[in-house]
Amino acid sequence: MKFVSTIFLILVNLTGCVTTQAPIEEYTLADAAIKSAKSVQAVRYSAGYWHQAEEFFRQARILYREREYEQAKDLFIQARIAAEKAENSARLLRQKTGDIL
């Protein structure tokens, strides 16, 4: 009986040690969204969203390096969303002004 309870305790401890995986997909998508926004001059046409995206991405990379993956994942997602808004806003403004994309 002691052997069974020891095995049970070991298994319980091992399941508690599962770590969060690195948010590689979120990192990649956020980076791509920022590059895409940059390509349509979002920094000029949609500065608010652009700076928001940059700040979220900067903070997420710091957390990523510190292996705070859950928090980094959330910030990468926010960075991607802000970058997509910056890109869309910049495209619309450029289209309205007749600027060629």
Domain ranges of the chain: 21-97
Mean pLDDT of 67-75: 98
pTM metric for this prediction: 0.79
Q: CA-CA distance, 32 to 91, in Å (whole number)?
A: 16
Q: CA-CA distance, 71 to 60, in Å (whole number)?
A: 7
CATH of domain 21-97: 1.20.1270
pLDDT of residue 16: 47
Higher pLDDT: 53 or 6? It is: 53
Q: CA-CA distance, 5 to 51, in Å (whole number)?
A: 55
Q: Are 47 and 28 in contact (CB under 8 A)?
A: no
Half-sphere exposure of 40 (CA within 13 A, CB side): 26
Mean pLDDT of 55-81: 98
Q: Decide if pLDDT at 3 tops 60.
A: no
**Mean pLDDT, the chain, as a whole number?**
88
Mean pLDDT of 18-42: 95
Percentage of the chain with pLDDT > 70? 81
